[in-house]
Amino acid sequence: MKIFIVPTWHPTEQNPHFANWILPHISASAQNGNEVIVLYVDTEAKLPNAPVDDSFLRPKYITDHHLYIPMPKKNNRFLRTRFFYGKILNEYTSKLRELYKIAEAKWGKPDLIHAHVSLPAGYGSAIIGRENDVPVVVTEHYTGFEYDAKYFWRVGYFVKEMGKIVSGFYAVSPGFAERINQTGLLKVDGSLPNPININYFKCEHKLIKSDTFNIVTTGSLGWRKGTDILLEALSLINNQINWKLTLFGNLPDEHKFKKWLNNPNFNNRILLNGCVSQSELVNTYANSDLFVVSSRVETANVSMLEALSCGIPVITTRCGAPETLINNKVGISVPSENAHALAQGVLRMANNIGNYPPEKMREFVVNNYSMEKISSLLALVYDTAIQKKKTL
């Protein structure tokens, strides 16, 4: 089967850590003998400071099966409104059409297009699919989906139009799928979780023995990730267990956390490591005891599953997605936006850590989220979409 993958975001040479969660999705699509070609219209591209000729904006090959074209855009606070975003979608679809024609000329007509995130990739793919009589599947990852659906003047209209065309629409967690259904924009056909590279995220737990209870969390730290809730929770148990917290990710509003970060009796237990390579994440997971999701809202949480694959249990807030991806054998969930509940949850995990053997944590991921497991789900999704297209 020939699959054209259209990601809304993808790592680039200039930003190699950006959206690297998409890479396992592409690899999973390539399983079962499928030929996968990536068509990436880069809406995150920046124009160089120095003058450039037209060649900068032309399509190019990143690899033999990866076509790329930049689409620099100006920041606009009104961008995700129906009026402004319609112009963005027209330009995006035009550039995607250009990549599609190049790919079709070289590899032939695809059996299916799989887009990741409704806007702009899903919408653009739906238009291209309709023009060329190709079935389209969309996987939704975007945290702001519900906000876009909430107000008539935002971009939910385009999602609804996309939904009339595509042959399959999926979310990355059962919880997120339920929340999308509640918006009424379109019907979700099921969940397609993030695949985890279990050969990379290995169970090599506790390479370094320690009396410290090592906690780790990841993401762009701030309000959405509930960084304030996590820090407040740990301050409540500061003298009850010997904990240490490692945070990976950007901290754009560090001043908002000065209450904790400037406290000498607290900040010496915190490591702010910024954005790092996956190899460094694996090493930290191997020497940690607990992964924490303290978010206010999530669509899934890839890092949580990667940590489980490395053998460490998790605690997550009930923020609409991560709690639907685990069971009580690999971790616990607590109410969202409740520092006291999170603090008690951390204590509970610290006092019962022996109930979560590393090999069982990994086994859960292998059975539910490995590349092989997700690729088998994709095979069913692709076959269903192709058959649905034939009946229309």
CATH code for residues 2-195+370-391: 3.40.50.2000
Domain boundaries, the chain: 2-195+370-391, 213-369
Of all residues in the chain, what percent carry a pLDDT higher than 90?
A: 81
Q: Do 2-195+370-391 and 213-369 come out as alike in CATH topology?
A: yes
Q: Is the pLDDT of residue 205 over 70?
A: no
For residues 167-190, average pLDDT: 98
pLDDT of 391 reads 86
Look up residue 13 and give its DSSP letter.
S
Average pLDDT rounded to a whole number, residues 167-196: 98
Three-state SS at 234: helix
CATH no. for 213-369:
3.40.50.2000
What does the pLDDT read at residue 50?
A: 67
Q: What is the mean pLDDT of residues 95-105?
A: 99
Report how far residue 244's alpha carbon sits from residue 268's, in angstroms, rounded to the nearest whole number. 9
Calpha distance 359→58 (Å, rounded): 49
Q: What is the mean pLDDT of the chain?
A: 94
Query: Is the pLDDT score of 255 beyond 60?
Result: yes
Instruction: With cut-offs at 50, 70 and 90, classify the pLDDT of residue 277.
Output: confident
Q: Nearest-CA neighbor of 22 among 94, 107, 115?
A: 115
Q: Which amino acid is at 353?
A: I
* Residue 218 main-chain phi, psi, to 5 deg: -135, 165
Q: What is d(CA 159, CA 161) in angstroms, rounded to the nearest whole number?
A: 5
**Which of 100, 72, 135 has its CA nearest to residue 6?**
100
Per the listing, tokens 């190899």 go with 279
Average pLDDT (52-69) is 91
pLDDT attached to residue 53:
74
Whole-angstrom Cα distance, residue 82 to residue 249?
Answer: 32
Residue 207, pLDDT above cutoff 60: no
Residue 330 binned pLDDT confidence (cut-offs 50, 70, 90): very high
Distance CA 186, CA 167 (A): 12
Hey, which residues does 231 pair with through a beta bridge?
none
2 class by beta-carbon count within 10 Å (0-12 exposed, 13-18 middle, 19+ buried) = middle
Q: Could you read off the pLDDT of 75-89 as tens digits, one per residue?
A: 777 788 998 999 999
pLDDT bracket for residue 362 (50, 70, 90): very high
Q: Dump pLDDT digits (tens) for 286-329.
A: 999 999 999 999 999 999 999 999 999 999 999 999 999 999 99
Residue 268, amino acid: N
What confidence score (pLDDT) does residue 203 get?
81
pLDDT at 113: 99
- CA–CA distance, 294 with 175 (Å, rounded to integer): 16
Digit-coded pLDDT (tens) for 23-50? 999 999 999 899 999 999 999 998 887 6
332, 350 contact by CB (below 8 A)? no
Residue of higher predicted confidence among 311 and 265: 311
Cα of 280 vs its chain's centroid, Å: 19
Q: What percent of the chain has pLDDT over 70?
A: 98
pLDDT tier for residue 241 given thresholds of 50, 70 and 90: very high
